[in-house]
Structure 1
C-alpha cells in the first residue's frame, strides 16, 4: 500500500483520465469544473433574474458529483494519504521565490504568504486574491470553459477552440510567471 502515498506516474494517471473521458464521451457528457458555477447559481435562483442561468440544472447533477468528489478526494489525499508536504521543485526556483518574499517556497503546495489564515489580514494578499479570482472567473467564462474543460474534454473531442484556448493558457502562464509575477512581488 506504499504506492498510494506517492504521486502516481503519468502511465497510471493518464490512462485513468483517458478512461473517464471515454466513459463521458460514450455517455454524451462533457467535463469541466467551471460549468458547475453556472449550475450552482441556477440552483440558487439566478435563473429567475438572468436568462443565462435559466436552464435545467438537474441534467448537470452528475457534474456536481464530480466537484464533490474532487473536494472530498483532495481532502482525503492531503490529510490522510500525504506523508510529506514538501514540494520537489528546482533549488533555483526556491531561491528565486525566497528572494521575492516567499519563505515557505518548497515546503508546501500553497505559499503561506498568500494562503495562510494570517494572510487574510494583509491588504496586499487580499487584493491579489480578489483580482486573481475575478480574472480567473472572467477568463473561464470568456474562454467558454476552464483549463480542465478545454485541455481534457475539449482536446479529447478534437475541438479547435479548445486547442486555441489551451495554447492561450500556456502563453498567459508564461507571461505571468516571467513578466508580471516579479513585478507584483
Structure 2
C-alpha cells in the first residue's frame, strides 16, 4: 500500500486529465475554476449587483461539483494520502528561501510565515495576501479565465487566446519570482 502515498507518474495524471478534457469537449463544456466562482457568486445573489453575474447559472451546476470535488480531493489527499507534508525541493532552494525569512521552507507544504495563524497580526503578510488575491482575481477576469481554464481546457481545445494567456501567466510568474519577490522580502 506504499504506492498510495507516492505521487502519480506524469503519464497517468496526464492521461486522466486528457480523458476528462475529451469528455468535456464531447459534451460541449469547458473547464476552469474561475467559472466555478462566477457560478457560485451568481447563486449567492451577485447578479443583483453586477451584470457580469447575470447568466444562466443552472446550466453550469455541474461546475460546482468540480469545485466541490477539488476541495474534497484536496482534503483527502492532504489528510489521508500524504506520508510527508514537506515539498521535495532542492537544498539550494531551501537555503535561499530561509535566507528570505521562510524558516519552514522544505519542511511544510505551505509556508507558516504566510499561511500560519500569525499572519492575522502581521500587516505586511495580510497586505501581500490581499494585493495578491486582488491581482489574481483581476487577472483571471481580464484574461477571460484562470490558469487552469486556459492551460488545461483552452490549450486542449487549441485556442489561441489561451496560449497567449498561458505565456503571460508564466512570464508574470518569472517576473514576480526573479525581480519583485526579492524586493518584497
| TM-score normalised by L of structure 1 | 0.98
The 5-angstrom pairing of residues 71-86 of structure 1 reads 71-86=71-86
Task: Provide runs of 4+ in structure 1 moved above 3 Å.
Answer: none
The 5-angstrom pairing of residues 21-100 of structure 1 reads 21-100=21-100
1:38 and 1:116 map into 2 onto residues whose CA distance is 28
Secondary structure, aligned partner of 1:34: helix
**2:153 equivalent to 1:119:** no
**2:17 equivalent to 1:13:** no
Shift of 1:85: 1.0
**Matching residue of 1:150:** 150
Kindly tell me the number of residue pairs found equivalent between the two proteins. Answer: 185
**2:168 equivalent to 1:168:** yes
Shift of 1:2: 1.9
List runs of 5+ in structure 2 lacking aligned partners. Answer: none
Deviations 1:3-45 (A, max 9, x none): 1211111011000000000000011000000111211111111
The 5-angstrom pairing of residues 133-144 of structure 1 reads 133-144=133-144
More deviation in 35-44 or 153-162?
Answer: 35-44
1:118 and 1:32 map into 2 onto residues whose CA distance is 32
Q: Aligned-residue CA RMSD in angstroms?
A: 0.8
| TM-score normalised by L of structure 2 | 0.98
**2:38 equivalent to 1:3:** no
Deviations 1:59-112 (A, max 9, x none): 111010000000000001001111111211011111110000000001112100
List runs of 5+ in structure 1 lacking aligned partners. Answer: none
2:109 and 2:120 map into 1 onto residues whose CA distance is 18
1:77 and 1:14 map into 2 onto residues whose CA distance is 18
Shift of 1:149: 0.2
